[in-house]
Structure 1
Amino acid sequence: MKYSFVFIFVLLFTACDYFNVKKTSSEAILKEELETFNWNNVDEYPSFTICDSVLSKVDKKACFQETITTNITDFLQKEMIVVSQDIHDTLVLEFQVSKQGMLRLLESRVDSVTLQEIPNIKELLNRSLDTLPKIYPAIKRGQQVTTEFNLPIIISVN
């Protein structure tokens, strides 16, 4: 009986540590969350109304990129571009879609030959973006976010 009281007494003192609640500060929680947060992916890519029927994330991204590519290609085909030599080039365009849904061309990497043959190519690219339909921004954790992406455009003028 005496040993059982000692056992219970020791058990009570050691068991109290299991009931201690460790408090974590909001800063520690925020820091841990930011470390695990993947800044390179979004829950939903920017989109156009015509892409609403597409369900998968990958297909929505493809629809968004195809819409921009088609719009730029159609615009450039309507322009009267006169060149002295054939051009077969891939332009790499860097875009930003703001959290308000505004598309902006940040940079365009154009080959020097293409730039020499079509000196106003950058102006034409910017004008083609004005004809895009309304853009819905990307979403990350339920919030609209600004995104940047690169898009290659093949240009061929004979």
Structure 2
Amino acid sequence: MKQICVFILVLMLTSCEYFNVKKTSSEAILNEELQTFNWNDVDVYPTFSVCDSNETKNEKTACFTQVLTTHILGYLQNKSIVVTHDVTDTISLKFQVSETGMLSLLNIEADSLIIKEIPHVKELIYCSLDSLPKVFPAIKRGQQVKTEFELPIIIHAN
């Protein structure tokens, strides 16, 4: 009988550990979540309404860049640009789309030849963005977020 009582006592003392609940703070949960969070990728890239019919993320991204590139190049082609030498070069445009869908041009990197031949190219690019269709912001985990991206534009002028 004594052995059974000792066994039950030992069992009761060790089994209490199974009922202890470990408390985790909200800060610990947040820190753990932030470590697993991929900050360089979004669930849905910024988009235009014409890109809504596309199904996959890659198709929507390609549609967005295509619409933006086509719009800027179309605007530049409608302007009469006179050059003294043939120009074939790439301009790198750095954009930011805010949480509200405002598209901002942050930086224009152009070769010195383009600047020399088309000195007002930056103003033309800025003006081309005035008539851009409405941009819908990127979405990350159900929230609209700010995104930045770079877009190369190839300029051909004869």
Question: What's the TM-score once normalised by structure 1's chain length?
Answer: 0.97
Could you say which residue in structure 1 is the equivalent of 2:73?
A: 73
**2:35 matched residue in structure 1:** 35
* 1:52-80 CA-partner distances (Å, limit 9, x unpaired): 00010011000000000000010000000
2:23 partner amino acid: K
Residue 31 of structure 1 deviates from its aligned partner by 1.4
Distance in 2, matches of 1:121 and 1:7, equals 88
Residue 34 of structure 1 and its aligned partner are, at CA, apart by 1.3
Partner deviation per Cα, 1:91-148 (whole Å, 9 max, x = no partner)? 1110000011010110011000000100111100111111110010000111111100
What is the CA distance between 1:18 and its match in structure 2?
1.1
Give the letter aligned to residue 150 of structure 1: E
Aligned residue in 2 for 1:89: 89
Distance 1:6 1:122 in 2: 87
State the SS of the aligned residue for 2:93: strand
Structure 2 Cα separation of the partners of residues 14 and 115 of structure 1:
79
- Hey, what's the Cα distance between the residues in 2 that align with 1:6 and 1:55? 67
**Quick check: 1:137 aligned with 2:140?**
no
- The answer on 1:107 being equivalent to 2:107 is yes
Shift of residue 3, structure 1, vs aligned partner: 2.1
Task: Give per-residue Cα distances to partners, 1:21-40, cap 9 Å, x unaligned.
Answer: 01111111111111211111
Counterparts in 2 of 1:4-43, with a 5 A limit?
4-43=4-43
Aligned partner of 1:59 in structure 2 is 59
TM-score, structure 2 as length reference: 0.97
Q: Tell me the CA shift for residue 2 of structure 1.
A: 2.7
Cα distance in 2, alignment partners of residues 5 and 54 from structure 1: 71
Aligned residues: 158
Shift of 1:12: 1.1
Cα distance in structure 1, aligned partners of 2:5 and 2:127? 87
C-alpha displacement of 1:11: 1.3
**Sequence identity of aligned pairs in percent?**
61
Superposition RMSD in Å = 0.8
